[in-house]
Structures are given as C-alpha cells and as structure tokens.
Structure 1
Amino acid sequence: MRALIVDDEQHVREGIRLLGEWEQHQITQLLEAENGEEAIHLIELYKPEIIFTDMKMPQMDGISLLEWIKSNHPSSKTIVVTGYDDYHYMRKAIHFGSADYILKPVDPEILNHTISNAVAEWKKEQAERQRDNSSYQLINEMKPLYRDRKLTQLMNNQKVNQSTVEEFGFHLSQRYQVAIIRVDLHIIQVFQGDRDLAYFSILNVMNEILQKKQCGVAFRYLSNKGEIVLIMWDHLSEFIHILQTIHHTIKRTMEVTCLMAVGTVVDSPDKLMNSYEHAKQVMLSTNVFDRKAEKIYEENEKLAVGHVLHLVDYSTQIEDAIQFGDIQLFSTIIEQIMMTFREVNYLALGQLLHVEKEYQLMSFHAYKNYRTPFKLREQNEKVIELFYDDLGQFQIDRYIEQKKREIALFLKITKRETKKKNRDVIYEIEQFLQQNFVRDVKLQEISDRFYLSREYISRRFKQQFNENISDYLVKIRMQKAKHLLQNEQLKVYEVANMTGYQDDKYFRKVFKKIEGITPNEYRSSYLKSRSH
C-alpha cells in the first residue's frame, strides 16, 4: 500500500513520516507533495490508497483537492491534517468523504489510530469492490444486477447501447418522469437482513405492475444506496395512481411501507437526472411528523422549506452544558430545538439529516477534545432509517431518547476525563509557581496561561494543596530562603532579592512570621548545628 502526505510545510510532512508506524499498517511507500496540484500528479501516477492533506495550501488548497479526489479517485481514504480547529473545515472534510480529521501538532497515538482505521476501511471497501467486479463478470447469470447497472448508467447520462436498454423494456418517448422509492434499513430487517432479497422482492412487485401497462421500469439505483428508481414513459397522467397501486401491493404482501417521491416531467432521456434530482428534493422536503398512511409525495403538495436550523448556532449553550456535565441542560436544548419544529408541526427529512450530520460533527469535535476515539458515520441516512416503523412513520420520540442516551454516555466519559485533566493542570500550575517564585505571579496571569477562570484555579488549588496560591508562593520562597541562608557569604538583603523581595525589611518580617525566628537567628542556629 502507498500513502501520500500533502502539506506545504516540510516539517509537517517529515513529522507525519516519522510518527507513523507505516510498516505495521502494511504501507510500504510514502509520497510527498507541497500542494494540491502536485498531489494530483502523484495520485494519477501512483494511485495511493491513503492520502493525508492540509486544508490551507498555495496554488490548490485542501478543499479543492478533496473535491478532485472524490470525483477522480474515490477509492482512496483521505485524512485531513490541519492546524485550524474549525467547523467549516470539518464540514468540508465530511462532505468530501474524508475518513478522519486530525489537528496539528500531530499526536502520535491519534495519528496511528487514524491510519489503522483508514487502512481497515480501505481493505473492507476493496473487498467489496472485488466482489462487485466478480459479480460483473457473471453478468449473464445475474440479470437483475446487470439491469440495475445499465439503467443506473442511463440515469447518470452515460452512453449506453440502446439495444441493451430495450432489453429491459425501456422505450423511447416524448416525455419521461422519475420517482424515487426508498428502501430503508427497517425494510431490510423485515427480510432478515438480506438486502438483495428485499430489493428483488420489491422490484418484482413494481415491474410486474409496470409491465402490465408497458409504461415504465423500476431498478435498484446503484449510485445511491437505499433507493429504487422508477422511470415512466407512458400513461404519465396515471403516474400517482400506479404508485398508489404499487404502494398498497407492497404493504399488503410484505407488510412494509416505502416512502415515494415524484420528480418533474422531462422531454429526453438525457434529462432523466433532472427529474431524479427534483424527486430527491421532494423527498428531502417530506415532513417526518406526517402520519398519513400513504407515503407518496409530489411537488404540488407545496411542502414548506422554512429556515434551515443549524446546531452550530447552539454551540455556546452546548459547550456550557458539557462544562456543567448535566444531561438536563442538554434535554433543555433538545426540547428548545424541537419546539421550533413542533410549533409548526413540520420537520423536513432534509433538515433532520442536516441536524444528524451536525450532531455527528460536533460529537467528533467533542470526543477529539477528550482524546476519545470516535468514528464519523459516512451516511447519516442510515442512522435516521433505524427509527422508521413498518408503517413508514418516523419515531421522533425514540430518536430523541437515543440521542439523550448517547449524550449521557459522552458526559460520563467527559466527567472522567475532566477529573484527570483538571488534576494534571493543577500540578502544572504548581510547577509554574515553582519556576517563577522570584517574581510577583498574579492570579490573572495564571488564568490567561492555562485558559481557566481565576475562581476555578483558586478553588481547585486550595482543594489539592490545602492552602491558597499566595500562601503557597510564600512557602516556596521561605524554603528557598532557608537554603540560601545556609551560605554565610550571602547578605540577608541579597537572599531577600534572590527570593523575590526587593525590601529586605519586609522579607525579615515575613520570614519571622512563617519560621518564628529572624533570618539571622536561623543562620546562626544552622551554623551552630553544623559545627557540632
């Protein structure tokens, strides 16, 4: 296997090269590029399986490179490495299919954990690709898969031999219309998890009804998992009625409900994708609160779009809730968000998917902060699909309860990690005081340096060391002063200056208050004890 490191900073490339346990992950060749353009040349030449890329680079940045990789070399697993802890970059990384997102300076443990996951995911997908290739070789023995491939290519405006298309009953016409039928995970479970059997059974019902009128064909759309596409070229005025017949037959024979969305009418096979994309928008606009039995949607229902809600807008409240570690605060935020939709009784499927994606993104961000492994889910649709019942109704309350359980688990982990982190940082503060006792260290300086509030530092320091910072600092100075006073060559005023006191009279006063004797008396006592 090969890996490519793309970064305009040489020391970053060298750091990743040195920190990665490449042989352990079976990566035998490392390539390097300074920018996106150079990276593309290397990708076309060597086809690396794993690609690390910075986001901000000259000539061609990381976002443009990720977009190019997704279109031209999608089998590679990309990993974003950047010094910018920014939601915008994380969104882009997710959008273009990145396997992970790590921050500079690169932590060796996180780096190698990320490499391990990326390699494992690539191998898994490679095995799936090899199985697909084997299936393609048996094309004549697997007619349904062959049909699905060819009609998927037709949908994607790829040139397909017309005689091959006609083999599946596709007809040339003046008008075409597309519908999308969603086959979610809940439906697959009805078929004991056998995805192929589910598609085979549903498509048999659909194509049997379509063939009676010779008006259309349905197939498994291989470009997007979980979808069947139906193309009609005749009897378009009866399209909804035909979909109703299909909907009722599937519900009666298989006891499941499929969501269906209708696209616009187009006048050429080259424009089938336009009808598909319109149907997709109709589907994303469907209301998950809708409880009607017949899940068939078309544009003339005037489904509302409304303002798109972003979880990032609640980031301050969410951060506060994490800091307090109280699930009730999260529950309040969730209810506040849901109230926005409940008041109008409308929550678009697209909005729900968007919220789920941002939830995963913010979870990734939070777990990374506490160095807890977290894998981004590549398809948020799969998460949502788990909460549909046999009637095609989305169980919003069950979905919310699941989120609360996930958050409660995260808070439990956070609480444990925060205790460890806070304990460590208090000892770091103590070390800082040990190193800077000769000057007047202000509480505000400590607060600014360690990114903690003054009140929190004071409280935690007192809990850990049973005295406040100022008293602790005096104790350090007195311990140092006693050590220096043992050297009879040093004057008392010199000892005072060396322990942070410019006024030796004040030093004498503090020393006597703490030790019970004057500096001179301490020195005399020490010298006397040494002579004996």
Structure 2
Amino acid sequence: MIVLIVDDETHVREGIKLLGEWEKHGITTIYEASNGEEATNLIEKHRPEIIFSDMKMPKMDGTKLLEWIKGNHPSSKVIVVTGYDDYHYMRKAIHFGSTDYLLKPVDPEILNQTLETAVNEWKEEEEERKKEETSGQLMNMMKPVYRDRKLTQLMNSDEGVDEGLFEELGFQSSRSYTVGIIRVNRSTIEAFSGDRDLAYFTVLNVVNEILLEKECGIGFRYLSNKGEVVIIFWDRFDEVGDILAGIYESLQAAMNIACPMALGKMVGESAQLMESYREARKVLVGRNLLEPKACKVYVEYMMPDKPLKSLMDYTSSIDLAMQAGEIEAFDEVIEQVRADFTENDYLSVRQVLQFENEYLLLSNRSYKAKKLEVKVSEDVEGRVDSFFDEDGNFMLDEYVAAKRREISLFLRKLKKQASRKTSNIIEDIEAYLQANFDRDVKLQEISEHFYISREYISRKFKQEFNVNISDYIVNIRMKKAKSLLKNSQLKIYEIANMIGYQDDKYFRKVFKKVVGITPNEYRGEGKK
C-alpha cells in the first residue's frame, strides 16, 4: 500500500513518517508533497490508498485538494491533519469525505488508531469494489457485467467516446440525453435474502424490459457508486417522469420493494452525461423525507436555498449532557436537534447523511478519548438505509430512538469503565496499606500518593471493605501480632514495636479490645 503525506511544514511530514506504524499495516511506500498541486500530480501518478493532508497550504489548500480527490480519486482514504481546532475545517473535511480529523501536534496513539481504521476501511471497500467488478456467478450474467462496466466508463468519460462501440449493448446515439438514478437500498437487498447480485439482476430486468418496450433508454448497475442503478434516456423526454413512475410501481407490485428515483437535467452529448447524473443525485439526496408520497419519483430539485444544519453547533449542550453522565440529560438535546433539523416539516436525505457523518465523527472521537473499543460501520448511506421501511418511508422515530440507544450504551460503558478503575484503585490502596502497616499511614499521605481526594478514598474504601482505613490497619497489625505471638520468643514490647506501636501498654490495650484476651493469654493458649 502507498501513503501520501501533504503538508507545507517539513517537520510535520517527518513527524508523521516517524510516528506511523507503517509495516504493521502493509504500507511499503510513503510519498511527500508540500502543497495541493504537488499532491494532485503524485496522486495521479502513484494512486495512494491513504492520504494525510493539511488544510492550510499555499497554491492549493486542503479544502480544494479534498474536493479534487473526491472527484478524481474517491477510493483514497483521506485523514485531515491540521493545527486549527476549528469546526469550519472539520465540516469541510466531512463534506468531502475525509476518514478522520487529527490535530497537531499529532498524538502517536490516535494517529495509529486512525491509520488502522483507514487501512481496514480501504481494504473492505476494495474487496467490495472487486466483488462488484468481477460479479458473474449467476447464469447468463457475463453480458450484464460487461454492460455495467462499459456504461459506467461511458458515464465517467468527459472526453467523448465512439458511441458506436456501445451499440452492441443496446445504447443508441442521440442529440440529447438525460440521466435517471434508482437507489437500491438495504431494504431492497434484504428482500432478496441479502443477495446483492440477485437484487440488481432482478431490478435491471424489470427496468430494461420497460425501457426496451418504450425504445427510449438503457439501465445498468453504476459501479462507481454503491447502491445505484443508472438509466440513460435518449428519447421520449416528455414521458420520462411517467416512465420512471411505471418502473417504480412495477417493482413495488412484483417484488414489494420501494426504490426511490430521481431525474437529472437534459444534456446535449454523451460526454456531458456526468452533469445530468450529478443533477439527478442532487435531486435524490435533496428529497424531503417527511413528505408523504406514495410514488417516490423525483424530477426536480426541491431543497430550500439555505445551508445544512450542523450537529457541531450543539457541542456545548452535548458536553454538558456528557458531564451529567445520564441518558435523561441527553433527552432535551435530542429533542432540540430533532426539532431544528425538521423545521418547516422538511428533512432531506442530504441533511440526514451529513448528520450521520458528524454523529459518527463525534461518537468515534468520544470512544477514542475514553479509550473504549468501538465497532461501527462507516458506511453512512448503509446505516441510514436501514431506517427506510418496505414502502420507502423514512422511520424518523426509530432513527432517533436508535441514536438514543447508542448514546445510552456509550454512557453505560463509561460507568462500567469508571467502576473498574475505582475497584483497581482501591485494590492498589489496600496493597499500599499491607506494605506499610507498621507505620502511621495518614489519609492525607494516601491522597497525595494516589492523586485522589481524602473524602473519595474514605467513602470508597468503606464501601469496598466495610471498615474504615484506620480499623483496617489495626486488623492487619493484630493479625501479624497473633502470628508473632504464636510462633516466636519475642518480647511483647518487641512485637509491639515491629507492628507499629511504640507503647507496648497501648498495644496490649488494643489487642485485648480486638482479640478479647491479652497478648500473654493468647501466647499461653498457643503453647497448650
């Protein structure tokens, strides 16, 4: 694997190179760039899997570089490294798909945790990409796979191609085109018992049967973006909305699946297909999830012209709730976020995806900060997909309830961890007392030694052992005294001195009070 480190400060690049556990993760080559322009050249030449990038750099800054990577090399996992603890940069990083966000000076442990996560995510996604590109296990699937690959290439080309090459697939040249997107979400896959290939095969059979009858377009599995079937229309443009509605209703009637669909703008040549696709994608993620709509086909962009709301704006309230440590403290924050994000009865898919991205970022950072293990899928669209019912309606109540459960689980893990730490500290204090029972150990000494307040030590020790510390020391001393009285010829005053009493009369008094008889009587019984 290849890593690229982009930063205008040489010592930062050298620091990351020094701190990273590269061999452990199979990284064999590390390239460096001092700005975004150098980085784009290296990325085009070497195609690195992992990229560390600063945000403030000369020539091309981190924001522009992230945007370029998203459009030109989206399979790379990008880790933003910056000295500016500013949510503005964090939002930009999230928007352009960065894996994580690190602050300078870089903590070695967090760096390597983040590196491990990025490498594992890249490997999982690469495996998925290979699966989608080499699918062919079902009967007669070779031609569809070839079609999907070739038409994906056509979609992604901005230089124009010989459209005659695609005639064998059923693609027809035209003066105008428009692109439609069908979202194949998790509930659709589950309708086919989790068989992703069978789901796409069946959906495309329905799609292309209708398109062939109308002689107006072709559908294929778009390999560049997980979970999408793309349709290229070349005719009957005034009927396209109705044709999509017919496809939607046919899929629902035949297989009881609801696949939301969207339409892009009309373009004049095949080299501009990506422009129409981007418009369709914009329409798809801009649709209002709160709008009751039986046939989920969207042909125009409806999202209000205002910025998306950010979960980062609620960090102070989240921090206060975190300090309280109880899930009830989060309820007010959760309800406020819900009310704000669904203002005017509008909630777009794009808004939910942004929320999920920011939620995952905050959640993962909280787990890392508290050194708790976390295994969460980073497939944001997949996580959101699971909250659509069989009719394609977004289950907002269930989504909110799931977030509450996840926060509650985190708080329970925190309490369990705190309880474990408390237990360990009290055990350490007990060992300290066992080792120092023969001298006058004060509560203040223990407090200073373990960096814990006297009140806390006193309360927790009493809870754990059911006695206070002074009585516990006395018990240790008496146990030791009884052993010495039975098994040695030492004088009583010598034994008293050995276990921490300078006054043997006081020792005799304490011994009788605790044991019930005098030291001499106890020794006498031991000789019988």
Q: If the length of structure 2 is used for normalisation, what is the TM-score?
A: 0.71
Displacement of 1:203: 0.8
SS in 1 for 2:367: helix
Aligned to 1:434: none
Inter-partner Cα distance in structure 2 for 1:265 and 1:205: 24
Question: How much has 1:105 moved relative to structure 2?
Answer: 3.3
Aligned position for 1:25:
25
Structure 1 residues 352 and 31, CA gap change in structure 2 (3 angstroms): closer
- In 2, are the aligned partners of 1:361 and 1:376 still within 8 Å (CA)? no
Note closer, same or farther for the CA distance 1:31–1:249 as it changes in structure 2 (3 Å cut): closer
Would the alpha carbon gap of residues 268 and 315 (structure 1) be closer, same or farther in structure 2, given more than 3 Å must change? same
* 1:240 aligned residue: 241
* Residue 198 of structure 1: how far off its partner (Å): 0.7
Deviation at 1:60, TM superposition (A): 4.5
Moved more, 239-248 or 114-123: 114-123
Alignment partners' CA distance in 2, 1:233 and 1:5: 44
Of 309-318 and 33-42, the range deviating more from structure 2: 33-42
In structure 2, the residue matched to 1:380 is 380
Cα contact 1:221–1:229 (8 A) shared by 2: yes
Once the two structures are superposed, residues 77-110 of structure 1 have per-residue CA deviations (whole angstroms, 9 ceiling, x without a partner) of 3333333333233333334443333333333333
1:321 and 1:421, CA in 2 relative to 1: closer, same or farther beyond 3 A?
farther
Cα distance change, pair 72–242 in 1 and its aligned pair in 2 (3 A): closer
**CA-CA distance at 1:179 after TM superposition:** 2.2
1:299 aligned counterpart, secondary structure: coil
Distance in 2 separating the partners of 1:286 and 1:45:
38
SS for the counterpart of 1:344 is helix
Residue 352 of structure 1, CA deviation: 1.9
- Alpha-carbon deviation of 1:211? 0.9
Instruction: Return 343-352 or 10-19, whichever deviates more.
Output: 10-19
Q: Could you tell me which residue of structure 2 aligns to residue 180 of structure 1?
A: 181
SS at match of 2:79: strand
AA at the equivalent of 1:405: R
CA RMSD after TM alignment: 3.6
Q: For 1:11-66, what per-residue CA distance to the aligned partner results, in whole angstroms no more than 9, with x for missing partners?
A: 44444344333333333444445444555565566554433333334455444444
Tell me the amino acid that sits aligned with residue 312 of structure 1. M
- The offset of 1:284, in angstroms, is 2.3
CA distance, structure 2, for counterparts of residue 340 and residue 231 of structure 1:
38
Aligned to 2:345, the other structure's residue is in SS state coil
Task: Give the match for residue 220 of structure 1.
Answer: 221
Q: Secondary structure at the match of 1:392?
A: coil
Query: Residue 273 and residue 417 in structure 1: after superposition, are their counterparts in 2 closer, same or farther (change >3 A)?
Result: same
| Bigger mean CA deviation after superposition, 92-101 or 214-223 | 92-101
In structure 2, the residue matched to 1:205 is 206
- TM normalised by structure 1 equals 0.70
Give the letter for the 1:463 counterpart. Y
Cα-to-partner distance string for 1:466-510 (whole Å, 9 max, x where unaligned): 9xxxxxxxxxxxxxxxxxxxxxxxxxxxxxxxxxxxxxxxxxxxx
Shift of residue 256, structure 1, vs aligned partner: 0.9
Give 5+ residue unaligned stretches, structure 1: 425-457, 467-532
Match of 1:167, SS?
A: helix
Deviations 1:338-360 (A, max 9, x none): 23466633322222222222222
The question of whether the paired residues in 2 share the 8 Å contact of 1:309 and 1:351 is answered with: yes
Give the equivalent residue in structure 1 for 2:151: 151
Report the CA distance shift for 1:112/1:304 in structure 2 as closer, same or farther (over 3 A).
closer
Q: Could you tell me how far 1:142 is from its partner in structure 2?
A: 1.6
Letter of the structure 2 residue corresponding to residue 296 of structure 1: V
How far apart in 2 are the matches of 1:420 and 1:82? 35
Distance in 2, matches of 1:129 and 1:15, equals: 33
- In the aligned structure 2, how far is the partner of 1:422 from the partner of 1:68? 50
Partner of 1:276: 277
- 8 Å Cα contact 2:263-2:300 kept in structure 1: yes
Please name the residue that 1:77 is paired with: 77
Q: Does 1:53 align with 2:53?
A: yes
1:170 and 1:44 mapped to 2: Cα distance? 31
Distance 1:30 1:179 in 2: 41
Whole-angstrom CA distance in 2 between matches of 1:99 and 1:286: 26
Distance 1:281 1:325 in 2: 39
Q: Could you tell which deviates more after superposition, 33-42 or 395-404?
A: 33-42
Q: Look up the equivalent residue of 1:214 and give its one-letter code.
A: E
Q: Deviations over 1:442-465 (max 9, x none)?
A: xxxxxxxxxxxxxxxx99675357
Distance 1:303 1:104 in 2: 37
Residue 133 (structure 2) pairs with residue 165 (structure 1) = no
Does the 8 Å contact 2:82/2:102 carry over to 1? yes
What do residues 399-444 of structure 1 show as CA deviations (whole Å, max 9, x unaligned)? Answer: 11110011112222344567899999xxxxxxxxxxxxxxxxxxxx
